[in-house]
Amino acid sequence: MFERLNQIESRYDELTQALASPDIVNDSSRYQKTAKAHSEISEVVEKYREFKDLTRGIAESRAMLTDEKDPEMLAYAREELDRLESRARAIEQEIKLLLLPKDPNDEKNVILEIRAGTGGDEATLFAAEMFRMYTRYAETQRWKVEVLSTSESSVGGLKEVIAIIEGKRVFSQLKYESGVHRVQRVPATEQQGRVHTSAVTVAVLPEAEDVDVKIEAKDLRIDTFCSSGPGGQSVNTTYSAVRITHLPTNTVVSCQDEKSQIKNREKGMRVLRSRLYEMEMQKQQDALAKERKAMVGSGDRSEKIRTYNFPQNRVTDHRIGLTIHQLEQVMDGKLQPLFEALEAHYQEEKLKHETTATA
């Protein structure tokens, strides 16, 4: 590990010098690339230098324990040694996490798809509440949410909603949300006060760029139709809605939220690219060893990942055994405690796997 850290530190010094070079300063493209490379390794270099300072301090404290005769100075040296060793262990752990392979999708925007599952009207109402939950969280992160497609139920819920969320490191925070979200509560229509269980499925797809997925025009069938509202009533008499079928994979995407056929087609293509990208990623994951798949988790949407229990004011994430008794705050978009716990858990799992692989 330390050989790698020394190489990273040397590279950091080279990039620091390069950023002061007139040739690079006067070339905006080269400067941006250099600055980005410099920024990407700055945190690990900062931690490594702190670790080296701590190591020197530990050596000095141990030398003092060997040479010093004064009882007060010995007590001070022992206390200082304990503090430095504790901090060094923490920094070393942070460095190991920083050296873990980065998810190439972490910086991407996401396509968020929420669909009502079992539970009828109650499931559609909860799907709408979940979309509001993610939207409120996006507001706290200053992300932009743009709805691409919706299908409303007769009771004002959502059978389906597809949106794109744009901002800084969106996928890195939302990527663990894919799966089945279960709700347990008494529906407004329930006369006898019985608790019902419904389910909503969530898919979080990294938005794919043109360079990520190549789509041939000959592989597409594009149909146009009149957009419709809840219950199927017509809300638009022009053929502005678009249905795109990717023939090789039989993947179908519909978009009807815009009045312009061109805009609906553009939005539909964004969703299609992301779905095809996810399929390709899934193929690559399936090709990995079983133990690696178990380590990172499959993200399978058929997995029940979380339960929202309203009578008990409880949210439970089943993957990490975390329970939070603050359901109202969670539904209002205060998701940071969940996201931080999930990130810490999966980082720890990856660290175990890396340690085992290099042992």
Query: Quick count: other Cβ atoms within 10 Å of Cβ 233?
Result: 7
- Residue 62: in which H helix or E strand, if any? helix 28-67
H helix or E strand, kind and range, residue 127: helix 121-140
- Residue 66 pLDDT: 83
* Residue 232: per-residue pLDDT: 43
| Res 106: pLDDT | 87
Torsion of CA 169, 172, 176, 181, to 10 degrees: -10
Burial class of residue 141 in the structure, from the number of CB atoms within 10 Å of its CB (0-12 exposed, 13-18 middle, 19+ buried):
middle
The residues of the chain scoring below 50 in pLDDT are 230-236, 289-301
In the CATH scheme, what architecture does the domain 110-349 have? 2-Layer Sandwich (3.30)
* Partners of residue 203 on adjacent β-strands: 113
pTM of the model: 0.68
Helix (H, G, I), strand (E, B) or coil at 205: strand
Name the amino acid, one letter, at 338.
L
At 282 the pLDDT is 77
Pairing of strands 241-246, 196-206: unpaired
Contacts of 2 (CB under 8 A, 6+ apart): none
- pLDDT of 354 reads 66
The pLDDT value given to residue 356: 63
Q: Which of 201, 221, 329 is nearest to 265 (CA)?
A: 221
Query: Half-sphere exposure of residue 205, counting CA atoms within 13 Å on the CB side?
Result: 25
Same fold, 2-98 and 110-349: no
> For residue 80, how many other CB atoms are within 10 A of its CB?
16
pLDDT of residue 326: 94
Spell out the domain ranges in the chain: 2-98, 110-349
For the chain, how far is it from start to end, CA to CA, in angstroms?
12
Assign domain 2-98 one CATH number from 3.40.50, 3.40.1350, 1.20.58, 1.20.1410.
1.20.58
